[in-house]
Structure 1
Amino acid sequence: MTLKKLLTVFLFMVNFNFYFSQEVVIKDDKVLLDGKQILKAEKINAAQYSFFTMKDDEEILMYKVMDNETPIYLDDDYYILNFLTEKTKVESKDFTKIANFMNSRKGMEKMVKWLLKERVINNEGELNPDRVQIFKEKYDENITERTFR
């Protein structure tokens, strides 16, 4: 392949990716997907968020960081995604999916993008029960059950 063709293919792939990526923004307690509100968000503190449906204002998801009662020691920290209407919890230590240095709002935007990509939440802000179970199977580390107290 010539350099010109290779460059054309690369630019096409980059443009294709930008065209199909969805923009998620949390602003004024609203979760916006490409400018359209799909959920309501409430920041309880830097380590806890709640998300509510637009239809009936029901809390469907709660995000919470657990420090395992060791605030200075960070290696045992994990987060819980509690899908309240599905009565399903996902516990994970993998903060790479949601972390954004010292900016919890950006982290929550990243989390919503992740849930959209995994099809746990659809473009209308509704949970997909089948995908919630698949998400749990893929990412749940069951930390509470493995922790000695």
Structure 2
Amino acid sequence: MKKIIILGLLLGITQVYAQEVELKDDKVIIDGKEILKYEKVNNGQYSFFNNADDEILMYKYQNNQTQELIEDDYITFNFLTLKKKVQTSDFSLIYASSSKKSMQKLIKLLLKEKVLDLTGTMNDEKLDIFIEKYNQVIK
């Protein structure tokens, strides 16, 4: 009986974090349902919008004006409607083979951390935890 309960819990956890995230036609689609819109400004900047067309998140790659030097580069997640920001030099959080795949990884991270839910709503309390976990002092 314990094995069945444990298996059920594992399957449930897997389903929570195994959403299919697509960025297609300026839409963020999770498991076939559109939850956000997005705009690619350039390879280093994306904006995400809720269904009311409010810009809720801006992602920006900062090269610190030193093209040749990557050690001082960082990324910013600006949660505009909640007036909170995360800056980090830990590119492993979202790094992928393309900027689009990196944004998919970002959305998956926000879902996993419960900052973003499947309706496209941001959770302010979970964002505070996200900030505690990932924010760095960038100079």
Tell me if TM exceeds 0.5. yes
Which residue does the alignment assign to 1:141? 136
Displacement of 1:94 in angstroms is 0.7
Match of 1:77 in 2: 73
Equivalents in 2 of 1:125, 1:79: separation in Å? 22
Quick one: structure 1 residues 18 and 138, their matched pair in 2 at CA, closer, same or farther if it must change by over 3 Å? closer
Q: Distance in 1 between matches of 2:21 and 2:99?
A: 14
Q: Is residue 90–residue 142 contact of structure 1 (8 Å, CA) maintained in 2?
A: no
> Structure 2: which 5+ runs fail to align?
1-6
State the match for 1:44 in structure 2.
41
Which sections of structure 1, spanning at least 5 residues, go unmatched? 1-11
- Kept in 2: contact 1:99–1:107 (CA 8 A): yes
Question: In structure 2, how many angstroms separate the alpha carbons of the residues matched to 1:96 and 1:17?
Answer: 26
Runs (4 or more) in structure 1 with deviation over 2 Å come to 15-19
Find the structure with the greater CA-based Rg. Answer: 1
The CA deviation string for residues 78-133 of structure 1, in whole angstroms up to 9 with x for no partner, is 000000011101000111110112x1011000000000000000110110011111
TM-score w.r.t. the length of structure 1 is: 0.82
- 5 Å matches for 1:1-149? 16=11, 20=15, 21-54=18-51, 56-101=52-97, 103-143=98-138, 147=139
Amino acid at match of 2:118: N
Q: CA RMSD in A?
A: 1.8
Residues 24-51 of structure 1 deviation map (CA, whole Å, 9 limit, x = unaligned): 1100110000010000000000000000
TM-score, normalising length from structure 2?
A: 0.88
